[in-house]
Structure 1
Amino acid sequence: MAPAALHAPPGPADAAELAQAVEDVMAVTEQVLEGFLTERTARARGVAPACGHLWSDLSGQVGGKLVRPRLTVAAYLGLGGSDPRAVAPVAAAQELLHTAMLVHDDLLDHDELRRGRPNVVGATRARLSARGFAARVVDEQAHAAGLLAGDVALASAFRLVGRAPVEPSVRVELVELLAAGIETAVDGELLDVASALLDPEDSQPLLVAELKTADYSCRLPLVTGAVLARVPEARAGLALVGTALGIAFQVADDELGVFGDPQVTGKSVVSDLREGRRTELLRLAYRDADAAGRAVLDAHVGRPDLDEAGAAAVRAVLVDSGALARTREVAARSARLARELAVATLPAPLAEYLGGVVDDLAGRGR
């Protein structure tokens, strides 16, 4: 049962006013984030060149659409919050948490590109290879850099929350939320890694999507905004909205990992197939394909040397088996639930604003 509609303190009068207010506060948030990265990089360079390289490479991975900070700011303002100084560092922390997850996820997936450019591991490899080190040494150093960069990004998320000018009791609650979000994401990441040991049909990609992506990417930022705004009764509704939104986003993102345009997404459309990632798209394909289709999947999915011709054959099975259409139905159903929950539980401007976010994130695979 969805939580009852709440009566929050007065916020923006409509979604347009909220959207403008969000962008105004996001400008402050970006300044906080940029200033923090500059500060920490300068400190690291004073320690040793290697430390400076690590922070510089990590800083290069921060950025993009800043969806998670924007969700925190939107929830805060939409529930009546009004102090940019309070929300900006906490919103920036959501982005550093996201960066940490990306760095570690790339490490686990053996990916060295992110958004079409070298990530921490890739940048470290290029720098050390240019200096003529042996391949084994470069591998070890690059792996260590990815692990340590993710660790320091996690620590930095907590540091930013600690800098927020809020009451100590609120800060403690924010730290608890952040720690719980990391714990849940690790649960999801572990299940994702372990799913490689399962037949695709026996995997649980929607559970992985909820734990690994939806919780820290959507639920945590939204609930954080409610805590900052001191509207505790909004937490339950925002948690449900965030979970549904995050699942829709991840399912759409998995589609882009196979059918997207790399020039637009910055993502390879063969790496997921080479890894044999247990997505809902792949699970449904194995479940519903005929014998000939399954033979194609068995021959190509999970091959490290998969080429575009093999990937095209797999895509044909994903379409012909109906897996692509059914995956889109899953994303659409979750997106619809997110919109309905927002309307039922949140102030109208915030519900309308989040409806636009749902349309943007869940419609990316179309």
Structure 2
Amino acid sequence: MSQPSSLDPLFDSALSRSLDEHDRNLWRAIREQAIGGKRFRPRLLLSVYRALGGTDELSAGFVADAVELFHTTFVIHDDVIDGDQLRRGKPNVTGTFSARAIAAGAPQAQAHRYGETAGILAGDLALAGAMRNIAMCGAKPDVMSRLLDLVDLVLHRSAAGELADVRVSFTGADLSDVLDIAAWKTSAYSFELPMQAAAILAEADEHVISDLGQAGRDVGIAFQLLDDLDGVFASPDQTGKDPLSDLREGKFTALMVFARSTSQWDDLSPYVGRADLTLAEAGRARTLLTESGARDSVLALAGDYRRSALASAARLPGDASDVVTAAIDQILGTQASAHGVAS
């Protein structure tokens, strides 16, 4: 169980008003999803808020928990979109309700549909809960208006990024498209939202809000670039993912964009998007991605975005600069060290 927070009354209230055991199970699944992560987004918001001189911990706590509920929303819906039934090695909302349906005697297709239905509804309820938390944070009307504008922008960008991420799997993409998707799908809600919300709550100057947005955008892109490299080159122990999944899916990442422009692409392309790709063939694909220079190109680009994020952090006032710089190092630290990305 997580430490007490404003999420506990929300879930307790929802469970007390549940209509039947299935409704209760849905809310329990949402709660499990919401409390199972590292909560780095709420922690980021609170640390930046304090560094900027914010003192209303209760108000900031409500918004921090809302940010975690937004994350819960996107994770649940992303699993539905990707057809995944596991999260952190355990059944996610879709997988849990699919298994319940099978146990009740439903055929596989019907059980899967029930699981996806639960996932869609759970994500919707988490989103409504996030908005409720913001509405209850007690901020002044002008601050509340700015928070809602920020959330509206982030939701629009996240939806556009998710749609584009699926679309480029059949249309293809250039590097600009891939970076836009990273900014919309990863940077917007994971980094820009918590840091800019903290600044709005602390009533910071406009240039501070802008610099935090730029730092968040750049660190998010760097994170996604390195994450895509990990999806191909890292071991399952490091990522918790199937090391063949990205290659088998033919996921359209910056790594593949760079690879397609090299002379090794003709040799590499038969291994990309092959559902039956073997470990040996994946090893050959990794060798070609390295020999082609595609891997080094992605590393260099991630390094550029990391340095840009740090430059934006350096422009922030006092403690905020130190907090955001430390956060960037923490967010990218393990990935950057593993890949040799320099500051």
**Shared fold by TM > 0.5?**
yes
Which residue of the partner structure matches residue 55 of structure 1? 27
Which residue of the partner structure matches residue 309 of structure 1? 280
Flag the 1:314–1:132 CA change in 2: closer, same or farther, 3 A: farther
Q: Deviations over 1:158-190 (max 9, x none)?
A: 011111122233223212211211111111111
Query: In structure 1, what is the Cα distance between the partners aligned to 2:6 and 2:235?
Result: 29
Identity %, equivalent residues: 35
Query: In structure 1, what is the Cα distance between the partners aligned to 2:288 and 2:332?
Result: 23
Q: Unpaired runs of 5+ in structure 2?
A: 339-343
What amino acid maps onto 1:78 in structure 2? A
Q: How high is the TM-score relative to the length of structure 1?
A: 0.85
Q: Unpaired runs of 5+ in structure 1?
A: 1-28
| Stretch of structure 1 that moved more, 168-177 or 305-314 | 305-314
CA RMSD across the alignment: 2.0
Query: In structure 2, what is the Cα distance between the partners aligned to 1:359 and 1:272?
Result: 26
Which residue of the partner structure matches residue 79 of structure 2? 106
**CA apart distance, 1:239:** 0.9
Q: How high is the TM-score relative to the length of structure 2?
A: 0.90
Do residues 238 (structure 1) and 209 (structure 2) align?
A: no
**CA apart distance, 1:262:** 2.4
Q: Deviations over 1:259-309 (max 9, x none)?
A: 22323432232222222221111211222242xx4333x322222333433
Query: In structure 2, what is the Cα distance between the partners aligned to 1:120 and 1:311?
Result: 31
Which residue of the partner structure matches residue 84 of structure 1? 57
Do residues 343 (structure 1) and 314 (structure 2) align?
A: yes
What amino acid maps onto 1:336 in structure 2? R
Query: In structure 2, what is the Cα distance between the partners aligned to 1:30 and 1:179?
Result: 29
**CA apart distance, 1:30:** 4.8
**CA apart distance, 1:120:** 1.0
SS at match of 1:81: coil
Aligned residues: 333
| Stretch of structure 1 that moved more, 66-75 or 239-248 | 66-75
Query: In structure 1, what is the Cα distance between the partners aligned to 2:23 and 2:68?
Result: 21
Which residue of the partner structure matches residue 68 of structure 1? 41
Which residue of the partner structure matches residue 277 of structure 1? 251
SS at match of 2:334: coil
SS at match of 1:278: coil
Which residue of the partner structure matches residue 341 of structure 2? none
Higher relative contact order (CA 8 A, sep 6+): 1
CA contact (8 A) 1:214 1:244 kept: yes
**CA apart distance, 1:227:** 0.7
Which residue of the partner structure matches residue 123 of structure 1? 96
Flag the 1:96–1:289 CA change in 2: closer, same or farther, 3 A: farther
SS at match of 1:269: coil
**CA apart distance, 1:41:** 4.9
**CA apart distance, 1:194:** 0.9
**CA apart distance, 1:87:** 0.3
**CA apart distance, 1:219:** 1.0
| Stretch of structure 1 that moved more, 144-153 or 262-271 | 262-271
